[in-house]
Amino acid sequence: MKHILTFAILGAALLTGAAEYRDIEARVIPVPQKIEVVSGATFPLKEDVVFKVVTPLEAESVAATVIGDVRLYWHFTPKVICEKGGEKIPDEGYQLDTTTPEFVITASSLSGVRNALRSMRQLAEPERGVVRSTGFVIPQVRMDDFPNLKLRGFHYCDKKELWRIERAIRLAAYFKFNLFVLQLPMELKKHPEYVSENALTQEEVRRFVKLGKSLGLVMVPQIQILGHQGEIVRGGQILLDQDPAWAPLFEPSGSSWCISNPAAVKYIEEVASEYLDVFENPPYIHAGCDEAYNAGSCSLCRQGGEYWEKVAAHLTHFHDFFAARNCRMMIWHDMLVEKNDPAWKGSTANGDKDAAKLRAALPHDIIICYWEYGMPQPGGVTGFPIFDVLRKEGFPVVNSGWRYDTTEALGEKAYKGGGAGILQTTWGELNNSHRYHTIYAQGSTSGWNSLAHCPPVMDGPIYTVDLLNRYVRDVNCDMGIKDPAKTGTK
Ligand SMILES: [Zn+2]
């Protein structure tokens, strides 16, 4: 009885301790797998501290990376000691111990080391009790953290201001995403007529690709090989607005490519090639294929065989075209599932009655990005049945949320159902701290710690949205942004 009582008292003390430091734990986003705040006391982050990195990696490059990140985050040059070990830590994962003034990071990958430093940056506080900060202190924590999903993508389709794009790339890396899809028009040397004059230059895109890679992101272009030839961010159908003589490349509405026209296929190949060049031969390309309305509506597409067979041949052609450059094709899912199938009533589906035949005819290593931006209304089928169908048929599936309420549930579904990952979308809505909460905090958590819940308000007074504002300021600082019009979170 005495022992039981002792345990009860100890348990209560531990629980009290956990609650006491909940605000410190909550600083780390995405929500970590395991964090223990050992004490409310801190150690300074300053010139003479030692970072011990336990890793099987080559010491010189590890030390250079740690020194580079520490200089950026806390503005001093640390001492770095490397020791062999850490082989069993999952890729991109890390263990962190700041309970002694010699901080210990254990990781098997360079991305794991960097993720530990990102968590430390979020945990650190500016120096206390002075007028102006000259340094930072770090709470005493032990962490054991790793991602649940392999692909954790961030899809940028938003304002074209260069500083916004750069900040989005830096924030994606800060929140431990590992892939960045850029869907914005880029100038083309071979086909300058395809984009508007305010498209990104190739030089600008090359700079973003280099930046993303330097932060550990896989940089992926998105193009459109089927529909969406009148882009919302682009404004209008650029080619046809300028010269209607290009009309044979498209279906009569102008919104989808005419895939039966070999000249259109060649044109798309030439566009795609430039993107692959500028993105330095990326391992993935997103080929779009969503909302391809009015596809197959011209007289040429109606001739000789079923339209679904032409779509299958078209997608297979581009799958092979990219594979020849060691590049894997991703596409959105909605044209691949029949719109009115009661099996997924209330879910997003834009395909016709032949959609199942189309799926069966496709190469099954195409990564299907399944997007669902709202839960089904009453009467709809819950539980994301489209995901299950695609997985059962053998496709790798990446789940995509946006700004509504599906992000966390899609991450959980991907994790439990053997999905390949998540791809958080933005669609012109990356514009304030509440959106940041859904898009960055919940989005990153859905891929990193897929069963965790990341509410905007935790335990009453802990308001995640304010933390996100701070992390945006961290990145503003990295970029040297001081313009009041840019420093806010709008
Ligand atoms: Zn056609």
CATH of the domain at 67: 3.30.379.10
Give me ligand 1 centre to Cα 301, in Å.
4
Report if residue 298 sits inside a domain: yes
Report how far ligand 1's centroid is from the alpha carbon of 262 (Å).
10
The reported pLDDT for the residue numbered 7 is 43
pLDDT, greater one: 146 or 377: 146
The answer to whether residues 106 and 160 belong to one domain is no
Asked if residue 222 is part of any domain, the answer here is yes
Q: Are residues 310 and 432 in the same domain?
A: yes
Chosen domain end from 145, 166, 192: 145
Do 66 and 189 lie in one domain? The reply is: no
Q: How far does residue 224's CA lie from ligand 1's centre (Å)?
A: 16
Q: How far is the CA of 38 from the centre of ligand 1 (A)?
A: 65
Q: 6-20, 121-135, 195-209: which has the minimum mean pLDDT? A: 6-20
Of 114, 121, 156, the residue nearest 45 (C-alpha):
121
Q: How far is the CA of 362 from the centre of ligand 1 (A)?
A: 20
User: Are the C-beta atoms of residues 49 and 79 closer than 8 Å to each other?
Assistant: yes
CA of 249 to the centre of ligand 1 (A): 8
Q: How many CB atoms lie within 10 A of CB 181?
A: 25
Poorest-confidence range of 5-19, 49-63, 98-112, 398-412?
5-19
Rounded CA Rg of the chain: 25
397 three-state secondary structure: strand
| 295 part of a folded domain | yes
User: Would the pLDDT of 13 be above 70?
Assistant: no
Confidence band (pLDDT; 50, 70, 90) for 16? very low
Q: Determine the distance separating the centroid of ligand 1 and the alpha carbon of 142, expressed in angstroms.
A: 60
Rounded Cα distance between 343 and 374, Å, is 17
Signed CA dihedral, 354, 358, 360, 361: sign only = positive
Q: For the residues 175-199, what does the mean pLDDT come to?
A: 94
| Any domain includes 1 | no
Ligand 1 center to 195 CA (angstroms)? 22
Residues 58 and 183 in one domain: no
pLDDT at 432: 81
What is the 247 CA–ligand 1 centroid distance (Å)? 10
Residue 231 banded pLDDT, cuts 50, 70, 90? low
Residues 186 and 75 in one domain: no
What tens digit of pLDDT does each residue of 134-182 get? 899 999 999 999 999 999 999 999 988 999 999 999 999 999 999 999 9
Ligand 1 centroid distance, CA of 230 (Å): 16
Of 145, 174, 192, the one marking the end of a domain is 145
**Measured at the alpha carbon of residue 125, what is the angle toward residues 124 and 130, in degrees to the nearest 5?**
150
CB of 413 closer than 8 Å to CB of 419: yes
Q: Cα of 254 to ligand 1 centre, how many Å?
A: 10
Same domain, 197 and 256: yes
Residue 10 lies in a domain: no
Determine the distance separating the centroid of ligand 1 and the alpha carbon of 428, expressed in angstroms: 30
Q: Of 32-46, 344-358, 472-486, which gets the smallest average pLDDT? A: 472-486
Model confidence at 258: pLDDT above 50 = yes
Is pLDDT above 50 for 6? no
Which residue type is seen at 404? Y
Distances (CA, A) of 173 to 99, 236, 444, 475: 26, 32, 10, 10
Centroid of ligand 1 to alpha carbon of 297 (angstroms): 6
Mean pLDDT, to the nearest integer, of 232-249? 83
What's the CA gap between 425 and 383, in Å, rounded? 20
On whether both 60 and 180 belong to a single domain, the answer is: no
Mean pLDDT (the chain) is: 93
- pLDDT of the residue at 14: 46
| 259 C-alpha to ligand 1 centroid (Å) | 6
pLDDT at 9: 43
Torsion of the alpha carbons at 228, 233, 234 and 237, rounded to the nearest 10: 40
**Is 8 inside a domain boundary?**
no
**Which tokens is 259 given?**
């895939």
Give the highest mean pLDDT range of 8-12, 88-92, 129-133, 251-255.
88-92
The predicted model gives 305-318 an average pLDDT of 98
What pLDDT, on the 0 to 100 scale, is given for residue 234?
Answer: 54
Task: Give mean pLDDT, residues 417-436.
Answer: 92
- Structural contact between residues 101 and 43, judged by C-beta atoms closer than 8 angstroms: yes
Domain final residue pick, 130, 145, 160 = 145
Q: Residue 71: which domain range?
A: 19-145
Do 157 and 131 fall into the same domain? no
Query: How far, in Å, CA of 340 to CA of 82, rounded?
Result: 59
Cβ burial, residue 470 (10 Å; 0-12/13-18/19+)? exposed
pLDDT at 3: 47
Residue 140 sits in the same domain as residue 186: no
Q: State whether 316 and 387 are in the same domain.
A: yes
- The pLDDT, as a whole number, for residue 1 is 41
86 in the same domain as 167: no
Asked whether residue 262 falls in the same domain as residue 378, the answer is: yes
Helix 464-479 vs helix 110-123: crossing angle, to nearest 10: 110
Distance 427 CA to ligand 1 centre (A): 28
Cα of 196 vs centre of ligand 1, distance in Å, is: 24
Using the mean position of ligand 1's atoms as its centre, give its distance from the Cα of residue 371 in Å.
27
Give the Å distance between the CA of 306 and the centre of ligand 1: 12
**In percent, how much of the chain has pLDDT > 70?**
94
Does the structure show a pLDDT above 90 at 310? yes
Using the predicted structure, report yes or no on whether residue 2 has a pLDDT greater than 50: no
Please name the residue ranges forming H helices in 52-195.
59-74, 110-123, 162-174
Going by C-beta distance under 8 Å and a sequence separation of 6 or more, which residues neighbour residue 164? 158, 430
Ligand 1 midpoint to CA 163 (Å)? 40
Local confidence band at 489 (pLDDT 50, 70, 90 cut-offs)? low
Q: Does the residue 370 lie in any domain?
A: yes
- What lies within 8 Å, CB to CB, of 145 at 6+ separation is 32, 33, 34, 35, 93, 94, 95, 96, 115, 116, 119
Centre of ligand 1 to C-alpha 100, Å, is: 68
Look at residues 411, 158, 153 and name the one whose alpha carbon lies nearest to residue 284: 153
DSSP string, 458-470: ETTTEEHHHHHHH
457 three-state secondary structure = strand
Question: Would you state the pLDDT for residue 12?
Answer: 43
Instruction: Give 366 Cα–ligand 1 centroid separation in angstroms.
Output: 24
Q: What is the DSSP letter of 292?
A: -
Tell me the two tokens of residue 203.
């030089």
pLDDT band at 5; cut points 50, 70, 90? very low
Rounded distance from Cα 296 to ligand 1 centre (Å): 5
3 state DSSP class of 45? strand
By the 10 Å C-beta count (0-12 exposed, 13-18 middle, 19+ buried), 294 is classed as middle
Structural domains of the chain, count: 2
CATH of the domain at 302: 3.20.20.80
- Position 3 in a domain: no
User: From ligand 1's centre to the CA of 300, what distance in Å?
Assistant: 5
